[in-house]
């Protein structure tokens, strides 16, 4: 498959960039070694 963008790292910038690019009709592949987005940001409730 061919992508418009490859984002390495799903931290805050990578996740937002991928989301905004997708909203504009671009295809994006995000790769990260972790199984969640936002890097070291966590939410607890």
The phi-psi region of residue 28 (left if phi > 0; otherwise alpha if psi is between -120 and 50; otherwise beta) is beta
pLDDT digits (tens, 9 = 90+) for 7-45: 999 999 999 999 999 999 999 999 999 887 887 887 788
Under 8 Å between Cβ of 36 and 30: no
- For the chain, the helix, strand and coil percentages under 3-state DSSP, each to the nearest 5: 25, 20, 55
- Write down the pLDDT at residue 17: 97
In the chain, where are the structural domains located?
1-38
CB of 30 within 8 A of CB of 15? yes
pLDDT at 32: 93
């Amino acid at each position: 498959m061919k992508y418009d963008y490859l984002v390495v790292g799903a931290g805050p910038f990578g996740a937002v960039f991928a989301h905004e690019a997708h909203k504009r009709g671009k295809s994006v592949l995000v790769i990260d070694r972790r199984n969640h987005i936002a890097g070291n940001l966590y939410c607890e409730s």
